[in-house]
Amino acid sequence: MKKITIAVFVAGSLVATSCSDKFLDVQPKAALANSALQNKAGVNALLIGAYSLLDGWATPEGAYRSYQVGADNWVYGSVASDDAYKGTIAGDQPPISLIEQGNIQSDNIYFRGKWRGMYDGIARANDVLQTLPLAKDLTEAEVKQITAEARFLRGHYHFELKKMYNNVPYIDEKIYNPNDLESTKLTNTEDIWTKINADLQAAYDALPTTQSQKGRPTKWAAGATLAKAYLYQKKFAEAKTLLEAIVASGQYRLMTNYHDNFRTATNNNNESIFEIQYSVNDGASGGENGNIGSTLNYPYGGGGVTTCCGFFQPSQNLVNAFKTDANGLPLLDDFNKEDVKSDQGIESTAPFTPYEGQVDPRLDWTVGRRGIPFLDWGVHPGKVYVRDQAYGGPYSPKKHLMYRSDVGTNTFASNPRLNANNYRMIRYSHVLLWLAEIEAEIGDLEKARGYVNQIRRRAANPDGFVKTADGKPAANYVIREYATPWTDRALARKAVQFEQRLEFAMEGHRRFDLVRWGIADQVLNAYYAAEAKKRAYLTGVTFVKGKHEYFPIPLQEILNSQKNGKPTLTQNPGY
């Protein structure tokens, strides 16, 4: 559902009433006092306002910046993992550098930005649910639909907070009292999974299987989100039931070409279950309905895509993960022993031959590297596209970028970095690999292999390879399915987890996956030890088990939560 000017205006006006700059601090006499909203049009405007926070961005830039709250979690899920470096130069956005380097402190503005963005979204969903009973011109079916969509959004926002901070308050429309400044100053000692599950289950039970407007969640979007929540809770049987229902619906399929999941021309395709909608040149001020959360993450110069800003550079570790062995399979244990050749330290004017070893073709739809076509912008020229190779490495991000052919139509007129390339939050490939994960944990290993092979079969389609100007594969792409039956559960688990990394690399999921799998300390400490030889700033970085699985509760929010002279929020362990 594309955001429209009036929707954004109404939503923005609610920020000054239903949520202030301080979470857990609510202004009196909120939106419910406005009788103009107590009708069908008003309720729908409130609902669109709740949707507008899906990209985390709806308040003035002075409150919190877009890249602190982007829907793709590029800072928290990718830069804080082994997938990506912050990139650019050391002195640009130092709060991200601190997160990347494991110097994770509760006063980091990024943690507060994400917290506030998600609780703004929750407040807006609650505005909808509080106003709904006062609107007398809605049919019973409309009330049911709006309630389900608002509860889906509220469940989603709480889920984002839960996986980030773990110990967070749950706020619903019964708790929030616009006339009581203290009503949302709650403790964060309760595990809120049950309430997240309830919101998503209610949405699953009530939403239709299709929606006429793209971007509104369907029954299957709610089911997939609930299944994902169950995976975080190790409730594999419950998740399996939901995921198998999505498969049985026949409504989704893998796109023939992998990269159709990362281009504007194929937004809302048959693989997409839930995606964040972006639009440009739609009348919104400053192009703010574009993919603003990724506005920093483009090649820095070189006369090509943009001149800013050089952030979010793929790690060498990630590039190495795409190597394949003689059988076309991943090197599950040894992938990082030898680096894929790069142009690190080589001028763009100097000769360079790209790596000639075997690689998974998904590499070059995920990573921009010298000598390989960079979408339709021409061959990636290497160093001139990178702000500081010595600091951030030689690679460029790719999945969220616009094509040259999109410029002027699917990019904002005065800033092409604001584009209409949607973020696919949940795809059918997620469903298949989550089912593989479940089978590897508690079920049939051969079913797990079959699900993984569906993903690899699509990746192996030569029609979907990156091609040179003369139509040849741009690199030595060799990928095959797992042919040998899986009999070892530990090996199957490792293969499934590795496949998830390859399929969803640079999409903001990696750190959260490592945490829920219980292997974050092993994987990331091995990463830091190896990467310190390439990126000096990672020397001595350690992932502390029992602490770093979650980010700290923002210090300012603890201070803001004071009630009767004492804070209601408690800091996470270790901080």
pLDDT of residue 32: 45
pLDDT of residue 2: 42
Mean pLDDT of 326-339: 97
Nearest to 394 by CA among 457, 346, 458: 346
pLDDT digits (tens, 9 = 90+) for 210-259: 999 999 999 999 999 999 999 999 999 999 999 999 999 999 999 999 99
pLDDT range class, residue 25, cuts 50, 70, 90? very low
pLDDT digits (tens, 9 = 90+) for 464-503: 999 999 999 999 999 999 999 999 999 999 999 999 999 9
Report the amino acid identity of residue 116: R
pLDDT range class, residue 52, cuts 50, 70, 90? very high
Inter-CA distances, 15 with 10, 18, 43, 120, Å: 9, 6, 16, 7
pLDDT of residue 31: 42
Q: Specify whether the CB–CB gap between 489 and 445 falls below 8 A.
A: yes
Mean pLDDT of 17-37: 47
Mean pLDDT of 36-50: 94
- Whether pLDDT at 16 is above 50: no
- Whether pLDDT at 14 is above 50: no
Chain mean pLDDT for the chain: 92
Q: Specify whether the CB–CB gap between 498 and 518 falls below 8 A.
A: no
pLDDT digits (tens, 9 = 90+) for 533-550: 999 999 999 999 999 999
pLDDT of residue 414: 85
Of the candidate ranges 295-299, 393-397, 513-517, the one whose mean pLDDT is the lowest: 295-299
pLDDT digits (tens, 9 = 90+) for 169-214: 999 999 988 888 899 999 999 999 999 999 999 999 999 999 999 9
- Whether pLDDT at 15 is above 80: no
pLDDT of residue 36: 86
Residues 6+ away with beta carbon under 8 Å from 42: 34, 36, 131, 135
Burial class (CB within 10 angstroms; exposed 0-12, middle 13-18, buried 19+) of 328: middle
Rounded-to-integer distance, Cα 535 and Cα 552, Å? 25
Q: In percent, how much of the chain has pLDDT > 90?
A: 86
Q: Note if the pTM is more than 0.95.
A: no
Q: Strand, helix or coil at 208? A: coil
How many contiguous H segments (helices) and E segments (strands) does the chain have? 17, 10
Inter-CA distances, 573 with 118, 187, 189, 559, Å: 22, 15, 12, 17
Mean pLDDT of 360-379: 97
Nearest to 132 by CA among 51, 58, 202, 41: 41
pLDDT of residue 24: 38
- Whether pLDDT at 290 is above 50: yes
pLDDT of residue 20: 35
Of the candidate ranges 9-13, 79-83, 175-179, 200-204, the one whose mean pLDDT is the lowest: 9-13
Domains of the chain: 5-251+549-567 (1.25.40.390), 252-508 (1.25.40.390)
pLDDT range class, residue 129, cuts 50, 70, 90? very high
Bridge-based pairing of strands 562-563 and 566-567 is: antiparallel
- Whether pLDDT at 6 is above 90: no
Rounded-to-integer distance, Cα 484 and Cα 327, Å? 11
pLDDT digits (tens, 9 = 90+) for 258-281: 999 999 999 999 999 999 999 999
